[in-house]
């Protein structure tokens, strides 16, 4: 059996004394012994120290009192050692104003065999004193030591570093992407269909609705046949001059279908490119100037600059009510301007030979975009998917909150 006299620092700076594997440390059965000087030092620490040391001193002191005085159960065997009464020789031999010497004197004056006593400490100084007095001693390994308590100065430096880190990280991180949030826009190469064939396909139901007039010979045989003939005339499919009106109508319809088909094909051919400003930073953006640059050989188009109007004669269907010269009256009625939209007989369509006059560099201004938000930029244009090849778009942002410009690249990929 070994009697382990624990130095105060074991209680304050190492794992809880109940959790240290003492039998492994001393390779023998053991009993912990608490000297009076250790209790005194714990009391001083709980009254004078601050932070973790003070809390630990209070907790250990309270537990030792309950175990040693009130018999509270403890995980390890533990005893209290009486205060030794030093002799004149003891006082001359060692300086008893030193707490380490008082702990050693307690061990020497205890009732235990000196060969069974071991001084356990985390301090090398007391090891020399124990050895000079014939006591065994063990320096408890650092594997059982608790992390050191930071000083107030160290805590303040750490706090200031955190504040500095927070301030330096609270900056905007602006960027530019396409409207769908990506940095790569993929479009299909446009190949023009057979427009003449499309027009003929659209003409089929019209030709079926207005077939040529069937020539009737002789007078109606009865009243029922006369009524059928009158109804046919009222429906516009049988009257003198019908076939002539029909041919004019079909030509007008064909002309309109040609314009509408070309317009629809061009709408599919011209692809819109628009942009979004985003902010992935931890602070809102400042006043920003945004530059977006396209290659010099890429032509862009806008609805205002690159489209043309095409007027047409509204088709007038063959009708008994509006036959011959009365067809123009019906046409003029259909061409009357709408109150807010102007002429009705106008079709707007893209002109591939009229690119925008604006150069390849666009400049915009933005501000006050909060972190983790995005907004559409007031910039969009169209490209001709029949003529353009894949290209890159360069962008740069000059932000009043950032020391350096932010630059990036977007890609338009044309799949053939």
Could you tell me the residue ranges of all domains in the chain? Answer: 2-144, 168-415
Q: Are 54 and 45 in contact (CB under 8 A)?
A: yes
Distance CA 372, CA 368 (A): 12
- The pLDDT, as a whole number, for residue 328 is 79
For residue 232, name the pLDDT band (cuts at 50, 70, 90): low
Distance CA 38, CA 48 (A): 15
H-assigned helices in 270-297: none
Angle, helices 124-132/99-108, rounded to nearest 10 degrees: 40
Kindly state the tokens that stand for 118.
């071991």
pLDDT surpassing 80 at residue 229: no
Q: What is the pTM of this model?
A: 0.58
Return the residue matching tokens 């620490």.
Answer: 45
Distance CA 297, CA 157 (A): 57
Q: Are 376 and 339 in contact (CB under 8 A)?
A: no
- The pLDDT, as a whole number, for residue 236 is 52
Q: Judge residue 9's burial from the number of C-beta atoms within 10 Å of its C-beta, 0-12 exposed, 13-18 middle, 19 or more buried.
A: middle
- The pLDDT, as a whole number, for residue 167 is 61
Return the residue matching tokens 């301030």.
Answer: 167
pLDDT surpassing 90 at residue 113: yes
Distance CA 298, CA 174 (A): 26
- The pLDDT, as a whole number, for residue 149 is 66
315: Cβ contacts below 8 Å, ≥ 6 apart: 249, 252, 253, 256
185: Cβ contacts below 8 Å, ≥ 6 apart: 178, 273, 410, 411, 412, 413
DSSP per position, 69-80 = HH----SS-EEE
On average, the pLDDT of the chain sits at 88
For residue 159, name the pLDDT band (cuts at 50, 70, 90): confident
- Helix, strand, or coil here: 49? coil
Whole-angstrom CA distances from 313 to 241, 252, 261 are 20, 7, 16
Tell me which of 320 and 233 has the higher pLDDT. 320
pLDDT surpassing 70 at residue 174: yes
For residues 178-203, give the mean pLDDT.
Answer: 95
**pLDDT tens for each residue of 121-134:** 999 989 999 999 99
- The pLDDT, as a whole number, for residue 179 is 95
H-assigned helices in 212-241: 223-234
Distance CA 121, CA 8 (A): 8
**pLDDT tens for each residue of 340-398:** 556 778 999 999 999 998 778 999 999 888 888 999 999 999 999 999 999 999 999 99
- The pLDDT, as a whole number, for residue 106 is 94
- The pLDDT, as a whole number, for residue 216 is 55
Q: Are 130 and 104 in contact (CB under 8 A)?
A: yes
Kindly state the tokens that stand for 336.
């009357």
CATH of 2-144, one of 3.40.190.10, 3.40.47.10, 1.10.540.10, 3.40.50.1010: 3.40.50.1010
- Domain over 168-415 is classified CATH 2.60.40.10: yes
Distance CA 292, CA 294 (A): 7
Strand-pair category, 373-384 with 270-279: antiparallel
DSSP per position, 56-97 = HHHHHHHHHHHHHHH----SS-EEEPPPP---HHHHHHS-TT
Sheet with 174-178, edge to edge strand ranges: 174-178, 270-279, 373-384
Kindly state the tokens that stand for 317.
């269907």
- The pLDDT, as a whole number, for residue 91 is 87
Distance CA 379, CA 356 (A): 13
């Amino acid at each position: 059996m070994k009697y382990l006299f624990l130095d105060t620092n074991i209680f304050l700076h190492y794992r809880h004394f109940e959790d240290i594997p003492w039998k492994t440390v001393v390779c023998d059965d053991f009993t912990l012994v608490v000297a009076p000087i250790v209790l005194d030092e714990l009391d001083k620490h709980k009254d004078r120290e601050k932070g973790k040391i003070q809390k630990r001193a209070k907790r250990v002191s309270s537990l030792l009192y309950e175990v040693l005085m009130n018999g509270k159960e403890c995980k390890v065997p533990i005893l209290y050692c009486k205060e030794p009464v030093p002799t004149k020789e003891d006082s001359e031999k060692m300086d008893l104003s030193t707490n380490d010497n008082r702990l050693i004197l307690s061990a020497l004056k205890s009732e235990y065999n000196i060969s069974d006593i071991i001084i356990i400490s985390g301090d090398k100084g007391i090891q020399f004193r124990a050895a000079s007095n014939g006591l065994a001693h063990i320096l408890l390994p650092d594997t059982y030591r608790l992390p050191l308590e930071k000083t107030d100065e160290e805590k303040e430096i750490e706090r200031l570093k955190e504040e500095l880190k927070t301030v330096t990280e609270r900056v905007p991180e602006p960027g530019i992407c396409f409207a769908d949030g990506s940095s790569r826009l993929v479009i299909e190469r446009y190949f023009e269909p057979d427009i003449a064939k499309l027009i003929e396909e659209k003409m089929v139901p019209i030709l079926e609705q207005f077939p040529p007039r069937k020539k009737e010979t002789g007078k109606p045989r009865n009243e029922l046949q006369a009524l059928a003939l009158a109804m046919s005339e009222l429906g516009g499919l049988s009257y003198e001059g019908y076939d002539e009106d029909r041919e004019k109508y079909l030509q007008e319809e064909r002309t309109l279908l040609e314009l509408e088909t070309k317009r629809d094909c061009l709408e599919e051919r011209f692809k819109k490119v628009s942009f979004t400003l985003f902010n992935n930073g931890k602070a809102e953006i400042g006043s920003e100037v945004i530059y977006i640059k396209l290659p010099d050989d890429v032509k862009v188009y806008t609805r205002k600059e690159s489209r043309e109007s095409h007027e047409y004669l509204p088709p007038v269907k063959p009708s008994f009510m509006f036959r011959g010269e009365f067809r123009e009256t019906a046409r003029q009625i259909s061409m009357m301007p709408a109150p807010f939209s102007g002429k009705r007989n106008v079709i707007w369509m893209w002109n591939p030979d009229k690119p925008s006059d604006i150069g390849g560099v666009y400049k915009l201004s933005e501000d006050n975009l909060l972190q983790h938000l995005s907004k559409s930029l007031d910039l969009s244009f169209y490209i001709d998917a029949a003529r353009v090849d894949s290209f890159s778009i360069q962008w740069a942002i000059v932000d009043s909150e950032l020391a350096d410009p932010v630059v990036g690249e977007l890609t338009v990929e044309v799949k053939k």
